[in-house]
Amino acid sequence: MESTPPDDRIIALWRVESPRLIARLMRLVGDLDTAEELSQDVFAAAIEKWRREGVPDNPAAWLNTTAKFLAVDRIRRRDTQRGKYQLVAAAQPQTLEHDLDEIVDGDLADDLLGLIFMACHPLLSPDARSALTLKLVCGLSTEDVARAFLTPAPTIAQRVVRAKRTLAAAKVRFELPPPSERKARLDAVREVVYLVFNEGYSATSGDRWIRGDLCAEALRLGRMLAALTPNDTETLGLLALIEIQASRLRARVGPDGEPVLLNDQDRSRWDRLLIQRGLANLERIERLGGTAGPYALQAAIAACHARAAVAADTDWEQIAALYDGLARISPSPVVELNRGVATAMAFGPEAGLEIVRPLFDVPGMREYHLLYAVTGDLLCRSGAHEEAREHFLRAAAMTRNTPERTTMQGRAADCAAGHTIQL
Amino acid sequence: MVMHYQTQAMEDGVPPTPEEQAAIGEYMQEAAMSGVLLSGEGVASSRLGARVEVNEGAVRVIDGPFAEAKELIAGFAILEVDSLAEAVEHARKFALLVGAERVDVRKVVEFEDLQQS
C-alpha cells in the first residue's frame, strides 16, 4: 500500500532520477534537446502506466530500461532516415546493440559532470547557464526556476529553448572537455553555483531579502560538484564558502523580513552542521595541499566569523590579512570594499576610509549602493554624521531591494547611533 | 534522516561481505553525486555499546548486547531534500541496493519547527 499518490511520487522521482536519466540519454543520443525530450517521454509513459498499475518496487530500474528502449528506438529511426537521405537501399542501423550496452553502462560520474559542463557552457550567458543548470541538473521545473528567479515562466522557457538552440547550432557534442580545458570550464561551473547562491543570499530585487530555495539549490549543486571532482581544492573552497555563509541564513532576517547584519546576528541561530561541514572542507583543502585560490580564501574569511562565538571575538586582523591576500590574487572593486570594511574593524574607520575612498573614482562603483552604505558607516563611526547621512540616503535611493532600502533609511535617520555595517 | 536496522548477522558481529560493503559504498557515492548527502554513519554491534535506562529517577546502565537485534539502528544518513516523497525515493534506492529489510525516514527537527510549537 503506497501512501503517496502516483503523481506526487513522479514529481519526486523526476527530481531524484531525471539528472541521471538525462545525462545517460545525452551520452546515447548526443544532443541536449533530444535527451530532455526523451526523458520527458519516459516520465509521461511512467505516469500513464503507474496510474493504471501502481508504481513498481524499483521505479528507477523501470525508468532506466524505458529510457534505453526509447533511445535505441530513436537512434534506429534516425539512422534509418539518414540512410534514406543517403539513398542507401538497405537502411543499415549504424549503432549496434552491443555498442549501446557499453554506452549505457558508462561512468555515471562522468555523465553527470558532462551534463553540468554542457549546461554551464561558455557559449551561454550566465542567466541561461543558471536556468539550464537548475532545470537539468537539479531537476527543477520551468515554473520552479521562474519562481526562484522571480522571472515569468515563459521568459525562463524562452531562455532555455534559446540556450539549447545555441548549443545545437554550435554543434556542441556531449563530452567531457579534455583535461587541458577542464580547469577553465570548472571555473565557469563554479561561477554558476556561486551566482545561484548569491541570488538567494541577497536578492538583488523583489520584496524578500533572502531566497532560501535558491541557496538550497546552490548547496546541492556545490555538493554534487565536490563529489564529482573530489580533489579540486577550489571546488571545495566554493562549497566551504557557501556552506558557512548559508549557516547564517536564518539569523540573517529579522522578524519583519528586514536584513540583520553579521555583527547583530543571534549566533545561536547559526546552523552548526553547515559550519562544521564548511570547516571540514577547509581542512580537506589543507590536507590536499591546495594553494589558496579565491574561493578558498573567501571561505577562510567566512570561517573566521563562524569561529567567533560573539561578534566581539572576531579576529578582524586575520580577516584583514586574508582580504589583503584575496586583493592580490583576485583584485576587484568589491573585494577592495570588503577589505576596507575589515581593515576598519581591525585598525579603525580612518584606515578603512583610506581604502574605500579611492573606489568612488572606479568606473561603475558610483552606481553600487553598498559603496555608499559602507562609506556612510565608516564616516558615521569617525564622527562625520552629516556626511554619513547623505551617503545612507544615496544608498537607500539606489537599492532595488525593499527591506534593504528600509534599513538604509533607518541608518540615515539614526546614523549617530553607532551601528556598524557588515557585508 | 534515513535509518536502517540491524540484522542478526550484523548484531552477531559478522563483518559485512565485500559485496555489502560495495553496495553501501555505491549508495553513499550516488547520494553524494545527487548533492543531497549531508552525513552518514554506520554503527557496530550492540555488544560494543551500552543502554542507559531511567525509571522514576533511578538510572540503570545495561551493557550490550541487547536482546532484540531487529530493533537496533545499524546506521543512518542525513539527507537534505525537498519533500518526504523525495526522501522516500532515496530510502527505497538504499534499501534495494543494500538489501535492508527496513528503513525508516524521519524528519530532522529544525529551529523553525521548534518556534512554531
pLDDT tens string A319-342: 999 999 999 999 999 999 999 999
A309 vs A95 pLDDT, higher one: A309
A415 vs B73 pLDDT, higher one: B73
Chain A touched by B29 (CB under 8 Å)? yes
Q: What's the mean per-residue pLDDT of chain A?
A: 87
- At A309, give phi and psi (nearest 5°): -70, -35
pLDDT at B26 > cutoff 60: yes
Please give the full DSSP string across A66-102, using - where no structure is assigned.
HHHHHHHHHHHHHHHHHHHHTT-SS---SS-HHHHHH
* pLDDT at residue number A207: 65
- At A125, give phi and psi (nearest 5°): -70, 155
The residue among B2, B26, B34, B36 with the most chain A CBs within 10 A of its CB, best to mutate, is: B34
pLDDT at B84 > cutoff 80: yes
* pLDDT at residue number A138: 92
Q: B30 contacts in A (CB within 8 Å)?
A: 108
Cell of residue B38, nine digits: 549531508
Tell me the three state secondary structure of residue A279.
helix
* pLDDT at residue number A99: 60
Of A105, A123, A112, give the one whose Cα is nearest residue A168. Answer: A123
Q: What's the mean per-residue pLDDT of chain B?
A: 87
Q: How far apart are CA A323 and CA A171, in angstroms?
A: 42
Which of B34, B80, B112 shows the shortest C-beta gap to A16? B34
Residues 6 or more apart in contact with residue A213 via CB below 8 angstroms? A147, A148, A200
Rg (CA), chain B: 16
Q: What is the mean pLDDT of residues A374-401?
A: 90
Nearest residue on chain B to A112, judged by CA atoms? B33
Order of strands, sheet of B73-79, starting from the edge strand that comes earlier in the sequence:
B37-42, B73-79, B2-5, B103-105
Most confident range (mean pLDDT) of A174-178, A322-326, B70-74, B113-117 is A322-326
Chain A touched by B104 (CB under 8 Å)? no
State pLDDT tens for residues A111-135.
899 999 999 999 999 999 999 999 9
Q: A12 contacts in B (CB within 8 Å)?
A: 82-83, 85-86, 88-89
Which of A57, A228, A250 shows the shortest C-beta gap to B33? A228
* pLDDT at residue number A335: 93
Of A415, A399, A359, A372, give the one whose Cα is nearest residue A204. Answer: A399
Q: How far apart are CA A66 and CA A38, in angstroms?
A: 10
pLDDT at A160 > cutoff 90: yes
State if pTM tops 0.90.
no
Rg (CA), chain A: 25
Q: How far apart are CA A180 and CA A14, in angstroms?
A: 34
Q: A273 contacts in B (CB within 8 Å)?
A: 38-39, 78
Distance in angstroms between the alpha carbons of the first and the last residue of chain B:
21
User: pLDDT > 70: what percent of chain A?
Assistant: 89
pLDDT at B64 > cutoff 80: yes
User: Among A170-179, A210-219, A264-273, which stretch is predicted with the lowest mean pLDDT?
Assistant: A170-179
Q: B29 contacts in A (CB within 8 Å)?
A: 109, 227
pLDDT at A93 > cutoff 50: no
User: Based on the number of CB atoms within 10 Å of its own CB, is A261 exposed (0-12), middle (13-18) or buried (19 or more)?
Assistant: middle
Which of A220, A250, A269 shows the shortest C-beta gap to B35? A220
